[in-house]
Structure 1
């Protein structure tokens, strides 16, 4: 389980199906991801995600509010089919948009991935018009790489290296008046 000040992230469970289905069937949430899904497609997705964790410790976690335990969305890392690079992705339930949850969840997941999987870099892709997702990528310190075809459509790609990620975290600690951890 991963934790931040406001959130905890854990592997998805069968008991999360109703909340995930509600989110994945919402056309506003799914607008830039894919078509809204029916319940059977959602159940298959949860099984796929669970199996990925067992195989290579990559996949999605549910994002939950610490205080209430409410399901807020999902966040995770997997391999891009086109390049085999690690990609981070996230989606938040509509009623919780614009509260910084996607950025907070993605940041702790980037930390997890860099510490445990040790990739050279992690990428993210989005529809060019998906301004909220692009803002999350930029807040994470990711840099624009290119526009290219991913998932059978043209998307923008951003990326961050471990070195860039760690440098940004040190910078943030200094701005907050905390001593940087140079370990």
Structure 2
């Protein structure tokens, strides 16, 4: 028996947000192995990166929400990932974004995250969305603030201090 999840494609001016594909894995693994790129996420070796990659894709089956690959419309190149998902014990949708280092500073995270936030509120009718941002991750904090998210509280995730940012649907 085969199971499928309906993963919506989201389009912005420059980007297509689509499903993960097997061919995306090398860039994903390289991103997680790069100490500078993964400084706020925590680095991962290739086997751990495969588990993360697979679980990101599998969230769509469990929750009907998960992670998208971010593809540049003009070049077809993979430039990062963005997600709207639930953690195991959470009832609040969480967002996350990662831009691959070669594409930092181009507004890709802002554009992709804005599309995902609109999807969460307009299509899924989520009442609120949270982003957990590691200490010192100023670029992600700026993305959250551009989205209209506001600092909520300090918390902990996997033993690390983390700031929670929240936005409610209007």
Give me the TM-score of the superposition, normalised by structure 1: 0.83
Deviation string for 1:15-64 (max 9, x for gaps)? 21111111121111110111x22222222222212221122111111111
Q: Does residue 1:150 correspond to 2:157, yes or no?
A: yes
The range that moved more, 4-13 or 14-23, is 14-23
> Residue 49 of structure 1 aligns to a residue in which SS?
helix
State the aligned residue count: 162
Give distance in 1, aligned partners of 2:89 and 2:133.
15
**Counterpart pick for 1:30 among 14, 38, 41:** 38
The residue aligned with 1:91 is: 98
* RMSD, aligned α-carbons: 1.4
**Counterpart pick for 2:19 among 11, 24, 28:** 11
In terms of fraction of residues, the more helix-rich structure is: 1
Give distance in 2, aligned partners of 1:87 and 1:110.
10
Give distance in 2, aligned partners of 1:151 and 1:82.
14
The residue aligned with 1:48 is: 55
Deviation string for 1:48-107 (max 9, x for gaps)? 122211221111111111100111110001124464321100111111111110010000
Q: Does residue 1:116 correspond to 2:123, yes or no?
A: yes
**Structure 2: gaps (5+ residues):** 1-8
Give me the TM-score of the superposition, normalised by structure 2: 0.89
Give distance in 1, aligned partners of 2:17 and 2:151.
27
Higher radius of gyration, 1 or 2: 1
**Structure 1: gaps (5+ residues):** 164-183
